[in-house]
Amino acid sequence: MPQPQVALLRGNNAPIGPLTDSQSKCVGSLGRERESVFKCFGPLTPPSLANLKSFDLRDATMRILLAIDPGLSNGVAILDQHADILLATEIVPIGEGARKRLPLAGLVDLIEQYGVTHAVVEDVSAMPRQGISSSFRFGRATGSLEGVLSALKIPTAFVRPAIWKKPLGIAGATKEGARCLALQRWPAAAHFFPRKKDHNRAEAALLGAYFVERLRVAA
């Protein structure tokens, strides 16, 4: 049976239009993959989504979604059921060197303030040739984020980078490519991504938008 398809939409549900000259220059770092932004999403394949009881994809009750690009250098985005961005930010680590960690009381406050009902987290692993100390810090930060969601009993899905990046045309793209795509998709929310170092915020927002669209397809 063919999979239903849905076009990538702006947060206001209007289809993405042609790139302006300035946007083309920004998104040009995506190269030939830029055009795949306009393609429809393919089949939903991550087993973690298909098997997660909290996400009945035919009867989803998601209202406010928390999307996380995990790690010490992280990105956090909060979106509504229409994929409109309510917030995009990061959790700034405290401490120095090996003692760096994330102060997560603020994340709990955000979850309560916005009434988050569901979460999606990028299912990442340590980078090749990453040092032992760096891998430990990354794992501790990622685990602490997941621990907060588990403690608050928030239904959470995990999506591998290749699964959500490929349909958006940013698989293998530069970090700046993700930020440019976020600016293209949410021009009214450009204040969330003003700097090149805001690429983690952008990736979290795009992951959240991908997941919202997948719920729509499966509903």
Q: Which residues contact 4 (CB under 8 A, 6 or more apart)?
A: 217
Query: Per the structure block, which two tokens stand in for 15?
Result: 């289809």
- Relative to beta strand 64-69, strand 75-80 is antiparallel
Q: Is residue 133 assigned to a domain?
A: yes
Sheet holding 85-89, edge to edge: 85-89, 75-80, 64-69, 118-122, 156-159
Q: Is residue 128 assigned to a domain?
A: yes
Q: Is residue 4 assigned to a domain?
A: no
Q: Is residue 7 assigned to a domain?
A: no
Q: Is residue 3 assigned to a domain?
A: no
Query: Per the structure block, which two tokens stand in for 7?
Result: 């076009």
Mean pLDDT of the 16-35 span: 44
Domain limits for position 132: 21-218
Mean pLDDT of the 98-104 span: 89
Q: What is the pLDDT of residues 177-215, one digit of tens each?
A: 999 999 999 999 999 999 999 999 999 999 999 999 988
Q: Give the pLDDT confidence score for residue 189 in this predicted structure.
A: 96
Structure-model confidence comparison of residues 134 and 107, the more confident one = 107
Q: Is residue 170 assigned to a domain?
A: yes
In this structure, which amino acid lies at residue 143?
Answer: G
Kindly report the average pLDDT of the chain as a whole number: 77
Q: Is residue 38 assigned to a domain?
A: yes
Q: With pLDDT > 70 as the criterion, what percentage of the chain qualifies?
A: 70
CB 163 within 8 A of CB 45: yes
Q: What is the pTM of this model?
A: 0.74
Q: What is the pLDDT of residues 67-99, one digit of tens each?
A: 999 999 999 999 999 999 999 999 999 998 878
Q: Is residue 8 assigned to a domain?
A: no
In terms of Cβ atoms closer than 10 Å to its own Cβ (0-12, 13-18, 19+), residue 212 is: buried
CB 188 within 8 A of CB 178: no
Taking 60 as the threshold, does the pLDDT of residue 164 lie above it? Answer: yes
Burial 34-72 (b: 16+ CB within 10 A, else e): beebeeebeebebebbeeeeebebeebebebbbbbbbbb
pLDDT band at 57 (very low <50, low <70, confident <90, very high): very low
**What CATH number corresponds to the domain at position 183?**
3.30.420.10
Q: Give the pLDDT confidence score for residue 127 in this predicted structure.
A: 66
Q: What is the pLDDT of residues 119-153, one digit of tens each?
A: 999 998 766 666 777 888 888 999 999 999 999 99
Count how many domains the chain has.
1
Query: How many separate helices (H) and strands (E) can be counted in the chain?
Result: 7, 5
